Amino acid sequence: MRAIAWHPAARGLADDAAVLEVGGETLVLTHDAMVEGVHFLPGQDAADVAWKLVATNMSDLAAKGAEPVGVLLGYTLGGDDDARFVEGLDAALAHYGASLLGGDTVAGNGARVLGLTAIGRATYRPVPGRDGAWPGEALWITGPVGAAMMGFEALRDGTGGDSLAYRRPVALLGQGQALAPHVSAMMDVSDGLLLDAWRLARASGVSIDIARMAVPIAAPEARRDDALRWGDDYQLLFTAPPEAALPVPATRIGLLAPPGAAPLTLDGIDVGEAGLGYEH
């Protein structure tokens, strides 16, 4: 779920959440869309789809250290499973303490497209961005990647394996709020660790070297390279001094240097833009 980087006015925004100063408060606003057949499987339980739509937006708030206020929903009516969608939506909103403020339902006309706008309140200022990292700092991650990949494959292949991590991802709002005062840059890993770390490096004007074996994975070792490129895990990726005392568990997975030949290397090797993973 890439943002509107193609829009000239959005060049500075990348796919980052928006920060808006309003009457002495700092709001964080984010919009994520999901397309049937692209971001979720046709026929997938609508309750899971609703949950994930909320979670992806909450994860964007988490990366800003924000607490949720509410959401607005854009929903293409799907017929039979609208009630299931509402169940999942209610469950997710209750989980995150967010209100449904409004939205719009439209008649569908093909693959379903769902959009959610989330509004949050910053708990720490300045709000962490992606452009604040410095050479000499370390790259950290809050937990393993690869669980959503394994879950997706279990669901797709009907193996009966655990698909919860793919179906019901959890946004790390508490961790994001705790980390905000300690980080120089932060984002969530939604599109894959390598691609997202590359974006952080580019935004900050640094180069990042990730130690391949240092990355915690929730997948068989043989799938390590896939796990580093898969998205949907919603861990928080951030930069802080290498010896930082952090308020939540996190793993140091890389080091930052001045900008070099490539924004991102893996064990010192440039994987190239094509090697970063895929974008949806």
Binding residues for substrate: 39, 232
Going by C-beta distance under 8 Å and a sequence separation of 6 or more, which residues neighbour residue 83?
Answer: none
Nearer to a copy of itself, 31 or 182 (CB): 31
Instruction: Give the residue numbers of the binding site for ATP.
Output: 103-104, 130, 190
Instruction: Give the residue numbers of the binding site.
Output: 16, 30, 32, 39, 60, 103-104, 130, 188, 190-191, 232
d(CA 13, CA 36): 26
SS3 assignment, position 224: helix
d(CA 273, CA 259): 16
SS3 assignment, position 251: strand
Shortest Å distance, C-beta 70 to a copy of itself: 7
Q: Which residues of the chain form contacts with a copy of itself (CB under 8 A)?
A: 1-10, 13, 15-18, 20, 22-25, 27, 29-39, 69-70, 72-76, 82, 86, 89-90, 93, 99-113, 115, 117, 119, 121, 280
Shortest Å distance, C-beta 213 to a copy of itself: 33
Nearer to a copy of itself, 3 or 218 (CB): 3
Nearer to a copy of itself, 203 or 240 (CB): 203
Shortest Å distance, C-beta 42 to a copy of itself: 10
Taking alpha carbons only, the member of 119, 32, 36, 30 closest to residue 77 is: 36
Shortest Å distance, C-beta 144 to a copy of itself: 26
SS3 assignment, position 57: helix
Is the distance from CB of 65 to CB of 180 less than 8 angstroms? yes
Label the pairing between strands 207-210 and 264-266: parallel
| Residues counted in the chain | 280
Nearer to a copy of itself, 19 or 197 (CB): 19
Nearer to a copy of itself, 2 or 181 (CB): 2
Taking alpha carbons only, the member of 29, 170, 40 closest to residue 95 is: 170
DSSP state letters, 175-194: HHHHHGGG-SEEEE-SS-HH
Can the peptide bond before residue 42 be classed as cis, meaning omega within 30 degrees of 0? no
Is the distance from CB of 252 to CB of 139 less than 8 angstroms? yes
Shortest Å distance, C-beta 245 to a copy of itself: 32
The dihedral over CA atoms of 9, 12, 16, 21, expressed in degrees to the nearest 10, equals -80
Nearer to a copy of itself, 110 or 272 (CB): 110
Shortest Å distance, C-beta 122 to a copy of itself: 11
